[in-house]
Amino acid sequence: MKNDSIKRTKRKFDPTTETRDWSSAANEERCLRIAKNTNRKVVEIINTEDEPLPIICIFEDMTYD
């Protein structure tokens, strides 16, 4: 397990009930790259085990100044 504050779970994902900002990815490294490229922080990574994009990246709530 990596030493960071990201919650990692393995479960099914329902996009119709998720209220947080999310994106799908091929793997955890891609998830972190999406976050870096969009200046967001990953708070949870869900492994759905559903191909072709099994990883769901959940991002921290955006705040606008």
What domain range is 33 assigned to? 7-59
Has residue 16 got a pLDDT over 60? Answer: yes
Give the chain's mean pLDDT: 92
Has residue 62 got a pLDDT over 90? Answer: no
Q: Burial-class residue 13 by CB neighbours within 10 Å (0-12, 13-18, 19+).
A: middle
Q: Burial-class residue 56 by CB neighbours within 10 Å (0-12, 13-18, 19+).
A: buried
- Domain presence at residue 2: no
The domain tally of the chain equals 1
Per the DSSP assignment, residues forming a β-bridge with 55 are 25, 47
- pLDDT band for position 64 (cuts 50, 70, 90): low
- Domain presence at residue 65: no
